[in-house]
Amino acid sequence: MSDDEHQSEGEGAPMEIPEPVVVKYCPVCTMPYEYCEFSNTKKQCYTRLKEDDPDLFAELLGDLNLDEVQDKKKPAQVKFTEDTKKSAIVVTRIQRTKKKFASNIAGLKAFGIDLKKASKAISGRFAASSSVVGDDEVQVTGDVTVDIVDFLTSKFDGIKKEDIKIVFKNKKPKADTS
């Protein structure tokens, strides 16, 4: 082998190791300054960046006018009033397999019931597995749709039998392929 081959393989010159990049984070939205444009508090982030590091502001945003920047609007949250509080609790029976069912109880949060405590009480009363699913739903293994009405009215204050609706859902029958 000649000396030219050894140098072309990279044995002669040492490799340069790149320096780690120092990332500056925005104290307003807690993201890197490069991502402040996707934040809900974009205007506040840019104002803070301009005060703290004008060089980085000029590098990232150039000649941006802060008066034109608008914050993203957050979606309106539902506020519970007496009208919405009296919405119904929906108990749904869903067929899991041919002979097995699951019951979903939705709407407990509107009555001010802690879902974890309700799930624990339901599983203790019916000797069935129950868990909190989603924002406002408790799922119980087994068909407890009829018995749950009496249990909810006796266990939790403020729930009446008129507030509970029962829905039975079956799996769709298989299409006839003949």
DSSP state of 41: T
pLDDT in tens, 127-142: 888 889 888 889 998 8
Mean pLDDT of 98-110: 85
For the whole model, what pTM was predicted? 0.47
What was the pLDDT predicted at 171? 59
Mean pLDDT of 98-120: 86
- Which part of the chain has CATH 3.30.780.10? 82-169
Question: What fold, for 82-169?
Answer: Translation Initiation Factor Eif1 (3.30.780)
What was the pLDDT predicted at 160? 82
Mean pLDDT of 9-18: 75
**Which pLDDT band holds residue 80 (cuts at 50, 70, 90)?**
very low
Give the Cα separation of 156 and 17 in Å (integer).
66
Give the Cα separation of 40 and 10 in Å (integer).
49
The 10 Å CB-count burial string (b at 16+, else e) for 75-106 is eeeeeeeeeeeeeebebbbbeeeeeebbbbbb
Question: What's the Cα-to-Cα distance from 35 to each of 26, 54, 75, 150, rounded to whole Å?
Answer: 9, 17, 21, 53
What was the pLDDT predicted at 14? 83
Average pLDDT, the chain: 78
**Which pLDDT band holds residue 175 (cuts at 50, 70, 90)?**
low
Residue in the structure block whose two tokens are 């802690």: 114
